[in-house]
Structure 1
Amino acid sequence: MTSPDGRLDDKPGVTIRCQDSSSVVVTFCDRFSFDADSVHYAVELRAPGLTARVDEVVAWIWDSGLTAFLEKLVADYRGWDGERSWQTHDRDLTVSAVFRSGGYVGLTWTLRPWTQAAGGWGASVTTWLEAGEQMACLAADVRNFLTTEQP
């Protein structure tokens, strides 16, 4: 399930919970901008025995974007063969999608900051969502999170 994050500080956020295991969670939070060309935000992954966070994922206005990738998955709700993937320009966030019989989409969220640095790290979790309504809600929530003006 996806939901606008009910954070106590009222800052916008999106939480994605795996339908198969509610302890697997991806959170988009702490959005800010330096200029009109980009949006910066944090992504957190949580699963039993795992907590990982990247603080400055960047969405550029000229980039095809995560929202466009998710909306394409929504449009193909009847399924597809193989794996589809998207990544940020800096490659610190990658999302891979597969379609499972029964109408479910598996999204593997991978954080890999400092890809050029020795000793870098990576972490991944997979969330399963219903291909129709749940994916449509996720795409809308992410679009709203990345495009809504901050107070």
Structure 2
Amino acid sequence: MTTPDVGADDEAGVTIRCRDNASVGVTFCDRFSFDADSVHYAVELRAPGLTARVDEVVAWIWDSDLTTFLEELASDYRGWEGERSWQTDDQELTVSAVFRSGGHVGLTWALRPWPQAAGGWGASVTTWLEAGEQLTSLVADVRAFLAEEHR
């Protein structure tokens, strides 16, 4: 399930909660831009005993973006074999998707800031969504979040 969020400072965000366990989730927030070529945003992962955040994930306008990846998953709502994945240019955010019987998609959201640095860290959570309406709603919410004009 996805939820367009509005925080205390009225900045929009998107939260994805696992349908099987609502305490597991991912939040996109704190969006900003320096120029017309990129969008920067924070990604937070939550699960029992885990909180992880990367403050500056970068989406470049010329890349195949997260919205395109999610749209492709939503268009294959009847399922697929194996795992599909997407990542940012710098590999700080990776999303992997699997389809399971019953029409559900597992999205594993992995954060690995500074992937080339020694002593870096990584964290991931998996959210399960309905392949139809919930995944389609996620696409719309992420598209709106990434396209929003900087205030």
When normalised by structure 2's length, the TM-score is 0.99
Task: Give the superposition deviation at 1:16.
Answer: 0.2
Q: Distance in 1 between matches of 2:144 and 2:74?
A: 16
Mapping of residues 88-127 of structure 1, within 5 Å: 88-127=88-127
Q: Distance in 2 between matches of 1:6 and 1:25?
A: 16
1:58-108 deviation line (CA, Å, top 9, x unaligned): 000000100000000000000000000000000000000000100000000
Residue 68 of structure 2 corresponds to 68
Residue 9 of structure 1 corresponds to 9
Residue 40 of structure 1 corresponds to 40
Task: Give the superposition deviation at 1:141.
Answer: 0.4
Deviation larger for 109-118 or 3-12: 3-12
Q: Distance in 2 between matches of 1:52 and 1:124?
A: 9
Q: Distance in 1 between matches of 2:53 and 2:31?
A: 14
Alpha-carbon RMSD across the aligned residues, in angstroms, is: 0.6
When normalised by structure 1's length, the TM-score is 0.99
Q: Distance in 2 between matches of 1:30 and 1:102?
A: 35
> 2:116 matched to 1:146?
no
AA at the equivalent of 1:112: R
Q: Distance in 1 between matches of 2:103 and 2:6?
A: 28
Residue 79 of structure 2 aligns to a residue in which SS? coil
Among all aligned residue pairs of Structure 1 and Structure 2, give the percentage whose two residues are the same amino acid: 79
Equivalenced residues, count: 151
Residue 143 of structure 2 aligns to a residue in which SS? helix
Task: Give the superposition deviation at 1:12.
Answer: 1.1
Task: Give the superposition deviation at 1:114.
Answer: 0.6
Q: Distance in 2 between matches of 1:124 and 1:37?
A: 28
Task: Give the superposition deviation at 1:116.
Answer: 1.0
AA at the equivalent of 2:86: W
Q: Distance in 2 between matches of 1:25 and 1:102?
A: 21
Runs of 4+ with >2 A deviation: none
